[in-house]
Amino acid sequence: MNQNIELRHLRYFLAVAEELNFGRAAERLNITQPSLSRQIQNLEKELEIILFERNPRQLKLTAPGQIFLTEAEQILLRFDQGIRVIKRASRGEIGQLTVGFQGSSVYDIIPISIKVFRERFPEVDIIMQHMTTSEQVIALSENNLDVGFVTPPITDANLEVEILLQEPLVLALPENHPLAAHSEISIAALADEPLILASRDRGCGLHEQIFDIYQKAGVHPNVVCAAKEMQVMLGFVAAGIGISLLPSHVKNFQRTGVVYRVLNPEAPITALGIAWKSENIIPVVLAFLEIVRSFA
């Protein structure tokens, strides 16, 4: 397009071409008829083409005017479509969202949030990535992940972390374990019990948290096994290899041969958070956060 031709000139031309009457076209555009006539004359001068045949009784398009009408309609259509796409993108209605989550997490908030987001924004492609918290922190920092469901604490100053849920840890025992006869059990009572622990490289912070819990109780953990997945840990518990301290949502697994008991005097707390890069708060992330918060 010539640099002196603006979109308004195309809209003026389109109105005149459709009405074939300067008066009606000017009224439709809410401008004066003389002003509209000058704008069309300026357009013809700029193009060096006569677009309309003018006579006292009739106004009609010339052959070049007919061709220009088709092109002008396409230009305006594409422009209007582009504006609509930009506005939808600014509202987070289209695009792509990459979400990290821990494979062992069974919090309802994660699948429910994904389901509702897909229903509300069907034109956003959601990519789910199975990653540990530590892997998510790296991916978020390197812009390979938009948002992640993580287990705090997160120490990366470039990330925003919002706590969604907090829950107590519970004691998982073999169903025939002597401690299973008690409804509440203290950490001190676990002093000599073989402990199945979450692997440190699982990246969820649970490994360090359990060590802190034992230390505060003045007890040294008797670690006999470490595993990355809760299902594996529960399998070891069911086999009688040891006990384990896990977030209370683990009870959703209903593992045969495993019972759960409350830890006292005060049940330690673990949490689920959602993290994103501070400088990467794009509209699609904002839209997703709004949905997640509604269920938190």
CATH number where 110 lies: 3.40.190.10
Same domain, 14 and 145: no
Provide the pLDDT confidence category of residue 206 given band limits of 50, 70 and 90: confident
Q: What percent of the chain clears pLDDT 90, i.e. is strictly above it?
A: 45
Same domain, yes or no: 265 and 191: yes
Q: Helix H segments across 31-62?
A: 33-47
Q: Does residue 1 surpass a pLDDT of 70? A: no
117 and 32 within one domain = no
For residue 1, being part of any structural domain is answered with no
What's the rounded Cα separation, in Å, for the pair 166 and 213? Answer: 16
Which of 69, 90, 111 represents a domain boundary (last residue)? 90
pLDDT of the residue at 38: 92
Could you tell me the pLDDT band of residue 116, with boundaries at 50, 70 and 90?
very high
219 with 238, same domain: the answer is yes
Considering the domain architecture, whether residues 36 and 157 belong to the same structural domain is answered as: no
The CATH number assigned to the domain holding 41 equals 1.10.10.10
The residue that leads in pLDDT, 271 or 204, is: 271
Residue 87 scores a pLDDT above 90: no
Does residue 246 sit in the same domain as residue 231?
yes
Total domains present in the chain: 3
Tell me how far apart the alpha carbons of residues 275 and 129 are, in angstroms, rounded to a whole number. 14
Q: How far apart are CA 140 and CA 274, in angstroms?
A: 11
Band (pLDDT 50/70/90 cuts) for residue 203 is: very low
The percentage of residues in the chain with a pLDDT greater than 70, rounded to a whole number, is 92
Residues 158 and 276 grouped into a single domain: yes
Give the residue with greater pLDDT, 203 vs 97.
Answer: 97
240 plus 172 within the same structural domain: yes
Residue 85 identity: V
In a domain, 29, yes or no: yes
**SS3 of 52, please?**
strand
Mean confidence (pLDDT) of the chain: 86
Q: Are residues 178 and 265 in the same domain?
A: yes
The band of 250, judged by pLDDT with boundaries at 50, 70 and 90, is confident
Same domain flag for 218 and 289:
no
Structural tokens at position 260: 């759960």
Task: Please identify, among 56, 90, 124, the residue that sits at the C-terminal boundary of a domain.
Answer: 90
Strands (DSSP E) contained in 151-193 are 159-174, 184-186
Whether residue 2 lies inside any domain: the answer is no
Shared-domain flag, residues 184 and 241: yes
Q: Please report the pLDDT score of residue 3 as a whole number.
A: 54
262 & 133 share domain: no
Domain interval for residue 154 = 95-163+272-295
pLDDT at 177 over 90: yes
pTM of the predicted protein model: 0.57
pLDDT-based confidence at 151, cuts 50/70/90? confident
| Least confident piece of the model among 45-54, 72-81, 90-99, 230-239 | 90-99
Residue 240 counted as domain residue? yes
Cβ neighbours for 69, distance < 8 A, ≥ 6 positions apart: 13, 14, 17, 61
Q: What is the pLDDT of residue 290?
A: 93
Which of 90, 116, 135 lies at the terminal end of a domain, its last residue?
90
Q: Is the pLDDT of residue 104 over 60?
A: no
Name the band, by pLDDT with cuts 50, 70 and 90, for residue 58.
confident
Tokens of 143: 């812009």
